[in-house]
Amino acid sequence: MATPLPTTTTIAGSDGKTRTNGNLKLNLVGLELKDYDGSPSTLCVGCGHNSISNQIVRVAYEMALKPHEVIKLSGIGCSSKSPAYFLNRSHGFNSLHGRMPSIATGACLANHTLRAIAVSGDGDTGSIGIGQFKHLVRRNVPMVYIIENNGVYGLTKGQFSPTADIGQVLKYAGTNEFRPIDLCMEALIVGCGFVARSFAGDAKQVRELLKAALSHRGTAVIEMARASGLTVVGGPEGNDAMAATTTGTGELIDLALDQGAKKIVVCLGGSATTDGGLGCVRAITSPHRLKSVRLLVACDVQTRFVDAARVFAPQKGASPAQVDMLRGRLERLAQMYQEQYGVDVRTIPGSGAAGGLAGGLVALGGRLLPGFDLVADELDLHDRILDANLVVTGEGYLDEQSFEGKVVGVGDGVLRHPEYWSKLRDPFTPSWGEAYAAIAARMLGAIDAARDAARGHEALVVSHQLPVWTARSRLEGRRLWHDPRKRQCALASLTSLHYLGNELVSVVYSEPAATLVRDAAKKAGA
C-alpha cells in the first residue's frame, strides 16, 4: 500500500510571503487564498471590475483579514455587482443607486470593529450619488471607497458618464461636450485623508494601493478648548489658574495614537491653562510614537513661551502674584524641554499659545501653523476669496492680538494679500452695497409717498426683510446695523405703522399666516 505524502502547512507573514513550501498555504488567521473568493463572475471576460475583485481577494489574504470582520457595500451598476465576486464569508449590502454612502456610514457607526470596503462606479458616485459621496468623505468615515471608473454607463447602452473626458467619442453616444468631474479632486476638496488613483490593468499597483488604503486610519482633529478649556471650568471666576492642566488634551492625543491616526491636528485657543503643556506631554504614553505622525498645532497668536504668563494668565483668573509664579514655572519648564527634547521653545513665535501648550507640542515634534492658514489651505480659501463679492470674518472682539495672525490680521491674515484689499467693506454697509442709512431713507420715502397717495385710507408697502426692519429701527430710534437673526420680521408678517396726522403713534407687528408656517416667528423672512 502506498504511503500518502505528508501535507505541509505554511504560514504567510504580514507581507504575504510564505515561509515554507507545501500543499496548503495558510495566512496568519489560518485561511487559504480561496477562502477569500466569491461567486463566479457574470461580467464580461477581461472586464476591469474582475481584475480589481481579484486584487481585493489577494490583498485580503495577504493582510490576513478576518472575513467576518469585513462588510462589503455597493450601489447600482456593473461595478456594484462585483462585491459578489470576492469575500463570500463577509457581510454584504447591495444598496440603492447612489445611496451606498448612507448605508456605509450607518454600518460603521453601528459596529466600529468592521472594516468597510465599498465599491461604486462613475455613475453611482459621480452622478446620482455625488452628494452622498461628498458628505461621507468630509465626515472621514473609516472605510475604503473604491470607484471603478471608465467614463461610460456600460450597463445601459454605453452613454457618457459624468467622468467621461471632453471630446471622447462613443459609437452610439457621439462626442462628449462636457468637462469631466474629477472624483479624486472632489475628495481632496472636502479633506479626504487618503486619495489614490490607479489603473485596473496594473495589478501590482492596485494591490499596493489597496493595502495602503486598508491600513489608513484617517485624520484626528483635537480641539483643546473642549478638553482643557476655560468655559469648561466656569470661566475666569471658576478657574484655578495655578492648578489648571492640559492633561485632558494629552489624553485625547494619546487616544488618537492608539486608534492609529496618521495626522493629528490640535486646535489651540480658549484654554484655562498656563502649564506650558506639561500635563499634555506627561499624558502621552510613549511620545516617540509621534515621530511617525504628522502633528499639526494650529494657533493664531505670536506670543512666545515665557510671555504666556503675562499675556494670557490674567484672562484665566490669575492674580499679579500668580502671574509672576507662572512665569517662573514656564522658564524652568522651557529649560527642561531643551534638555530632554533639544528644542528651545523660548525662541519660537507662537509657542506661548494656549498658555504654552504650543511649546510643549513643538518640543514633541509638532509643527506650529497659523490656524487661519491651516484652515484656509484645507478649504482652498484663497482661491475662493478671489471669486467672492464679499468676505466676512468673525472675531469675538478686537484687541491687540487680533492682528497677530488672526483672520483679519495683516501679518498672517487675509490682509497681507493685496489682491484681497478690494474685498474690504464698511461694516455699516450690508452685503448688497447700500448703506443702512440709505436703505432707511429710501424706505421712509416710499412710506411717505404711499401715505400721500392713500390719504384717508390704508396703504400697503411690500418689501424684503432687511428694508422693513431697517425702516422700523429708524422710526423707533434703534441703531441700524444689527444681528439679522434678531429681526422681528418673519415670513408673510405685517409691520403696521399707525399715524395720527403726520405723527407716528404706534408700530404693531403681527403674523396673520403664523398657523400656516410652523414657528413662523423663528424663521428668517424673504
Q: Is the pTM of this model over 0.75?
A: no
| Residue written as grid cell 390719504 | 455
With contact defined as beta carbons under 8 Å apart, do 345 and 351 qualify? yes
Q: Which amino acid is at 159?
A: Q
Per-residue pLDDT of the chain (526 residues; tens, 9 = 90+): 333 333 333 333 334 444 443 445 888 888 999 999 998 888 777 777 888 889 999 999 998 899 999 999 988 887 788 888 899 999 988 888 888 999 988 888 888 888 899 998 888 888 888 888 988 888 888 888 998 887 777 666 677 888 888 888 877 778 888 888 888 888 888 888 788 888 877 888 888 888 888 887 764 555 555 566 666 677 788 889 899 999 989 988 988 888 778 888 898 888 889 999 999 999 998 888 888 888 999 887 889 999 999 999 998 999 999 999 999 999 999 999 999 999 999 999 999 999 999 999 999 999 998 877 777 776 666 666 665 666 666 655 555 555 444 554 444 455 555 555 555 555 555 555 677 888 889 999 999 999 999 888 899 998 888 899 999 999 988 888 777 778 888 777 899 999 888 888 999 998 887 776 554 444 433 3
| Chain centroid, CA 256 distance in Å | 17
Pairing label, strands 219-223, 174-175: unpaired
pLDDT at site 447: 92
Domain architecture of the chain: domains with CATH: 9-150+182-215 (3.40.50.970), 219-373 (3.90.1510.10), 380-423 (no CATH), 436-522 (no CATH)
What is the DSSP annotation of 273-318?
Answer: --STTHHHHHHSSSGGGGGGSEEEEEE-----TTTHHHHHGGGGT-
Closest C-alpha to 209, from 163, 146, 116: 146
How many Cα atoms occupy the beta-carbon half-sphere of 368 within 13 Å? 27
Identify the H or E element spanning 94: strand 91-94
pLDDT at site 526: 33
pLDDT at site 435: 78
Give every CB contact of residue 224 below 8 A, 6+ residues apart in sequence.
Answer: 246, 249, 266, 267, 268, 269, 270, 271, 354, 357
CB neighbours (10 Å) of residue 14?
Answer: 10
Torsion of CA 391, 394, 397, 400, to 10 degrees: -60
With contact defined as beta carbons under 8 Å apart, do 491 and 465 qualify? no
**What is the C-alpha separation between 32 and 24, in angstroms, rounded?**
7
pLDDT at site 229: 65
